Structure formats: structure tokens, C-alpha cells
Amino acid sequence: MEHPYSDIAFQQAAADLCRYGKIMYDRNWSPATSSNYSIRLNDACCALTSSGKHKGELSAADILVVDWQGQPLSAGKPSAETGLHTQLYRRDTNIGAVLHTHSPSAVLLSQIWPSNLLILQGWELQKALTGESTHLNAVRIPIFDNTQDIEQLASDVEQHMQQHGQGHAYLIRGHGIYTWGSDIHTCFRHLEALDHLLQYELQRRQLGLATTTE
Ligand SMILES: [Zn+2]
């Protein structure tokens, strides 16, 4: 098979995905083989976790390479949600990594949230998101209904981004979170910040306090 990517880049990406995979599994964000993580290799393909792997025990053999059509360029079975990763890489060459987890804060908050838009405002930790410089900004996190039709969902996400901007992340109701960044370290920082921000909103609701919504 032709190798349209560098082996060195793949080995580095695989090592990073395994390392962060262990961290995310240990945080309880990726239970029961759920979640998927990817890193851009070049302008045509990314390294992505294979379907159904234990995320706390990943090795390089559990990482495959797919192109922007989701076609495997190396051995392994792509995740069912590959299309949600490639949609992001296709639309923005500055995106270098995408992380999707089933963290309890994202799953629970998206399930109980009364609208399709969560607005984060007034939290200092918003500044962990690239480009955000003040807690005063409104960070808009859209919520999409869960579906097994990933092609349709990817199309809905793309349409939403064209209308409302790319933003930093989105939630899938009762399912989890997607976020992205210029590289895996930045992307993980976004994920970690968002987990805290979602927990703040979750606890605010539990306390019966008003939340920002539309
Ligand atoms: Zn998922």
C-alpha cells in the first residue's frame, strides 16, 4: 500500500494518542471502549483510534490512518464516528487534533439541558479555550440530538458551523463531547477545561440556580 504519510509522524501521533488515552480513561471520560481520538498527520489524513479498543490500554497497533473520506490507509477498523473527525479536519487546516469522550459531565448535562444551545459565560476557565481572553465572552456550545446516522450528523454539524461559526466544541445529547485544537496538547487542554465548565453548569442546575440559555 502506498504510504502518503510519514512513518515518523504516525509513530509520534500514535504515542501521543496512547498517552492521552490512558489519562482520559483514568479520568473516567472514556468507559467501556467508548470515545475516539485523532491527530492530523498532514493535509490528507489523520491517525485515529480503531473501533472498540479499551482506551486505557491503547498501543500503536490500535491506531490507524484514515483519509478525509474516512477510508483506512493502514490496517484496522475505523470508529463509527470517523466522519465527525474528518468533517473538522476538512473544514479547517488549523485543526491538528480532535478528541471525543463520553465524560459524565457532557453526557448528563447534554441529556437534561432544555435547549440546543449551552452558553458558558462568567467563568475564568473559559480562557483556557484558544482565542478566549475574558470570562465576559459568551462561549456557545451547540447540542445536537444523538443519532446512529453519523453522515447526517456530520452534515448537520457542518451546516451549523457555516451559520454560527466553528466555536470550540459541541455536545451530542446523552452521548458526549467533541472538541478540537491546533495540536493534541491544546485539544486536551480544551477538553479538560470544558469538563470543568460543564461540571459548573451541571452543579448550578442541581442547585436550582438560573442558567444562561436561549
Ligand atoms: Zn461516542
User: Which amino acid is it at 171?
Assistant: L
The string of pLDDT tens digits covering residues 143-192 is 999 999 999 999 999 999 999 999 999 999 999 999 999 999 999 999 99
What's the CA gap between 61 and 54, in Å, rounded?
12
- Per-residue pLDDT, averaged over 65-71, amounts to 95
CATH code of the region 7-206: 3.40.225.10
Q: Which of 36-40, 57-61, 117-121, 191-195 has the lowest mean pLDDT?
A: 57-61
pLDDT given at position 76: 86
pLDDT at 1 over 50: no
Q: How far is ligand 1, taken at its centre, from the CA of residue 125, in Å?
A: 25
Please provide the DSSP assignment of 34-53 as one string.
--EEEEE-SSSEEEEEBTT-
What's the CA gap between 129 and 77, in Å, rounded?
32
Q: How far is ligand 1, taken at its centre, from the CA of residue 210, in Å?
A: 29
- Per-residue pLDDT, averaged over 15-40, amounts to 95
C-alpha closest to that of 13 among 34, 36, 40: 40
Q: How far is ligand 1, taken at its centre, from the CA of residue 30, in Å?
A: 9
Q: Which of 34-38, 43-47, 75-79 has the lowest mean pLDDT?
A: 75-79
